[in-house]
């Protein structure tokens, strides 16, 4: 895991996972050092990750006031219960649906939850965080937000893309890729993560990009992409192309068996 600053008061807690045949997928959480500090998502749900220890290198967890859960998938909730113990004053920002989904594994304590819907705002002392539904998502509880003080937009899974290396996934910037490389990575991820985009009216979908164009954030922070600085218009152009891209088709059983054979002693690489 790599920790680095982006903007004046936001820190990236960067992690990644290698996806065979796809690349290295970033898995970021963020710390916003507002007057009432905000942690955005809590990392991967893997036994060898210690999210609270990583956060402690940035700030004292006891000072955290808000945990913004962009949605309750396992790559966003890894450290949430440990953080709730370490941060006794913190409340989890989520939706009614998000809270309900969490109960299928372990329920959030309701007195530590703050429901916030798209279109509403959260006052964190020195700024307001404006909640919105990103144009691409894989979970109905997804809520991102725009920080109008720093002009940073947190978009959850939207705009993600696998990187060619773990180093770039965890320590780089989206601009480190050539424009055509980034475009291909984001189109691939969009078709993997939001396959519904091929089933909806394309023009209605493209119209849903307008609020982000009007927002015009200087920095976009996605869970599954390195920080993207002054790239919003270009990336929205990529998202507009998603309905016309080829749907993702994953490996089938024959491909899995070939992959397993390649791991056997003396097996030929696939």
Q: How many domains, in total, are found in the chain?
A: 1
Establish if 18 belongs to a structural domain. Answer: yes
Establish if 268 belongs to a structural domain. Answer: no
- Containing structural domain, residue 121: 2-263
> What's the CATH code of the domain at 139?
3.60.15.10
Establish if 118 belongs to a structural domain. Answer: yes
Establish if 269 belongs to a structural domain. Answer: no
CA dist 146 and 152 (Å) reads 6
For residue 270, pLDDT over 90 is answered with: no
3 state DSSP class of 122? strand
pLDDT of the residue at 266: 62
For residue 269, pLDDT over 80 is answered with: no
3 state DSSP class of 239? helix
Smallest CA-to-CA distance from 78 within 132, 15, 156, 34 is with: 15
Reported as a single tens digit per residue, the pLDDT across 198-255 is 999 999 999 999 999 999 999 999 999 999 999 999 999 999 999 999 999 999 999 9
Reported as a single tens digit per residue, the pLDDT across 111-146 is 999 999 999 999 999 999 999 999 999 999 999 999
CA dist 219 and 108 (Å) reads 31
Establish if 247 belongs to a structural domain. Answer: yes
Reported as a single tens digit per residue, the pLDDT across 68-94 is 999 999 999 999 999 999 999 999 999
For residue 45, pLDDT over 50 is answered with: yes
pLDDT of the residue at 131: 98
pLDDT of the residue at 268: 52
Establish if 106 belongs to a structural domain. Answer: yes
| Cβ neighbours for 154, distance < 8 A, ≥ 6 positions apart | 30, 40, 68, 70, 144, 145, 146, 147, 221, 222
Number of helical (H) and strand (E) elements in the chain, helices listed first: 9, 15
Indicate the burial class of 214 (C-beta count within 10 angstroms; 0-12, 13-18, 19 or more): exposed
Establish if 72 belongs to a structural domain. Answer: yes
Establish if 176 belongs to a structural domain. Answer: yes
Reported as a single tens digit per residue, the pLDDT across 181-204 is 999 999 999 999 999 999 999 999
């Amino acid at each position: 895991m790599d920790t680095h600053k982006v903007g004046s008061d936001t820190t990236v807690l960067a992690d990644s996972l290698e996806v065979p045949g796809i690349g290295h997928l970033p898995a970021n959480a963020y710390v916003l050092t507002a007057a009432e500090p905000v942690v955005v998502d809590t990392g991967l749900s893997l036994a060898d990750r210690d999210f609270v220890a990583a956060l402690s290198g940035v700030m004292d967890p006891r000072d955290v006031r808000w945990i913004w859960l962009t949605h309750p998938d396992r790559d966003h909730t890894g450290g949430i219960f440990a953080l709730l113990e370490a941060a006794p004053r913190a409340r989890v920002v989520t939706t009614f649906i998000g809270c309900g989904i969490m109960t299928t594994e372990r329920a959030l304590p309701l007195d530590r939850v703050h429901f916030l819907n798209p279109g509403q705002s959260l006052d964190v002392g020195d700024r307001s965080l404006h909640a919105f539904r990103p144009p691409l998502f894989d979970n109905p509880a997804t809520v991102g937000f725009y920080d109008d003080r720093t002009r940073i937009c947190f978009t959850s899974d939207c705009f993600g893309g696998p990187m060619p290396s773990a180093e770039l996934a965890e320590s780089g910037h989206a601009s480190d890729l050539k424009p055509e490389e980034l475009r291909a990575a984001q189109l691939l991820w969009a078709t993997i993560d939001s396959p519904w985009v091929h089933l909806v009216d394309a023009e209605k979908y493209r119209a849903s990009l307008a609020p982000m164009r009007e927002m015009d954030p200087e920095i976009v922070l996605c869970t599954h992409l390195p920080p993207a600085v002054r790239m919003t218009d270009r990336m929205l152009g990529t998202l507009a192309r998603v309905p016309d891209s080829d749907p993702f088709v994953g490996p089938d059983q024959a491909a899995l068996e070939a992959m397993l054979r390649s791991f056997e002693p003396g097996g030929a690489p696939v």
